[in-house]
Amino acid sequence: MRDILPADKARRESLLAIIRERYRAHGFDEIETPAVEDYARLHAGIGGDNEKLSYNILRRGLDAEAIESIGRAIGQAADNMAQLSDLGLRYDLTVPLARFYASNRGQLPTVFRAIQIGPVWRAERPQKGRYRQFMQCDIDIMGDDSARAEAELMVASLDALAALGLDGATVRVNDRRVLDWMLDTFGFTADERPGVLITIDKLDKIGPDGIVAELRERGATASAVDAFDAYLRRPQTMEHRPYGEGQIRKALPENAPDEIVAHLVGIGEAVAAGTEAADIPLVFDPFLVRGMGYYTGTIFELAHPSVSYSLGGGGRYDGMIGRFLGQQIPAVGFSLGFERLADLLEPVADAGSRAIVLVHDADVPLAELIAHKSALMAHGRVRLERRAKNFKALLERSATDGYNAFATVSAGAEPGTLELKPLS
């Protein structure tokens, strides 16, 4: 968890403002949910490994006996911890959104497009681009089971990235139903699939040989591993390809389900129309897994050639809202990895904004000083600074803080007569 200094805070807010503006332009409406959710909801088995990383909140009003039980519960099963905690900090924005929709459905349109931007918390090992408190930027569509929903999310997110100055991004696309069908076709049992998917997710790191070796070490069904090995060694399986029906079918084993392929193709056609790009900014990746347990269909990740890690992702989670509502509602979402984007992007300059440092002598009367500041505020934001011996260092620090102009004032000057000079 970090303190954020003024210049970096201003930079982050400028990036968030651009993201918000582009998402709103695509018809999404911003909502807000609490930082705290019920313990049972956060530990319902739909958050994957993130459930293990959640910050739990002890029940209020525990007596001495209950406090003693805390010590005994440490290291015991998670269900014992549920007796001590009734709330927790949200580890993502999707679980709270599902609860929000179930609670407020009567006041929302049939197809609801939501923006959620806010902090989440995970008790994981911090590293570059990964923190225990971090900002998420999500857009979600509820009530639409067609390919239009995925296409809208992808087009809006790619548009936001372009507005941030990050060109050349692509979206890797797959479908959890494709993965289930492939594993069933190869002969993996239902019990083996979670472990097999964990291994497949390492393909970029350990390669096909490493994948096959690990599956054999896991003791997966030998004939299934052999079939998967043969599939990996087909030239057309691993090649990079443009996005389209022929390429999707070519990448998969024979007789891929027509309904799923048609859904994926529809997404590509819509994104191509929405982005007006020479090449569809999508890549079909039959080995994309994504670890969240609530995904039920299309899954995707945001990639950029300048970095080896993803800059966001999401997928379809049609079964989640039904857990709270008792009625199945289709839903799909896209989350930008804001912290990684903020580390990667340069500040976005606003040519029309002025941030002025008003440098004053010590003998300028207070009333005059405030009058000068009020006059300059018609041109932008203004910060007062008393003239220092090292005038150059004062200006350099002001520039670092995001100011782009300065003026100097002495006693007796008339308000509105000061000369603005650029800080460069």
- For the residues 326-347, what does the mean pLDDT come to? 88
Provide the residue type at 128 as one letter.
K
pLDDT digits (tens, 9 = 90+) for 199-250: 998 888 899 999 999 999 989 999 999 999 999 988 888 776 678 898 899 8
pLDDT tier at 161, thresholds 50, 70, 90: very high
Percent residues over pLDDT 90 in the chain: 49
- For the residues 285-298, what does the mean pLDDT come to? 85
Q: Supply the pLDDT for residue 264.
A: 93
Alpha helix (H) residue ranges in 219-354? 222-232, 235-238, 245-251, 258-275, 320-325, 338-344
CA-wise closest residue to 27 among 144, 166, 168, 190: 144
Please, are residues 281 and 173 in contact by the beta-carbon 8 Å criterion? no
d(CA 421, CA 407): 6
The domains of the chain, with CATH numbers, are: 1-145+318-342 (3.30.930.10), 165-297 (3.30.930.10), 355-422 (no CATH)
Whether pLDDT at 298 is above 90: yes
Strands 170-175 and 282-284: parallel
3-state helix/strand/coil string of 52-87? HHCCEEECCCCCHHHHHHHHHHCCCCHHHHCCCEEE
pLDDT tier at 278, thresholds 50, 70, 90: low
Produce one character per residue of 360-369: b if its CB has 16 or more CB atoms within 10 Å, e if not: beeebeeebb
Mean pLDDT across the chain, nearest whole number?
Answer: 87
Q: Which residue has the higher pLDDT, 332 or 5?
A: 332
pLDDT digits (tens, 9 = 90+) for 347-404: 665 555 788 999 999 898 999 999 999 999 888 889 999 998 899 999 998 888 888 8
Please, are residues 144 and 43 in contact by the beta-carbon 8 Å criterion? no
Whether pLDDT at 79 is above 60: no
Q: Which residue has the higher pLDDT, 108 or 412?
A: 108
9's enclosing H/E stretch is: helix 6-25
Q: Which residue has the higher pLDDT, 112 or 415?
A: 112
134's enclosing H/E stretch is: strand 133-142
CA-wise closest residue to 47 among 98, 94, 103: 94
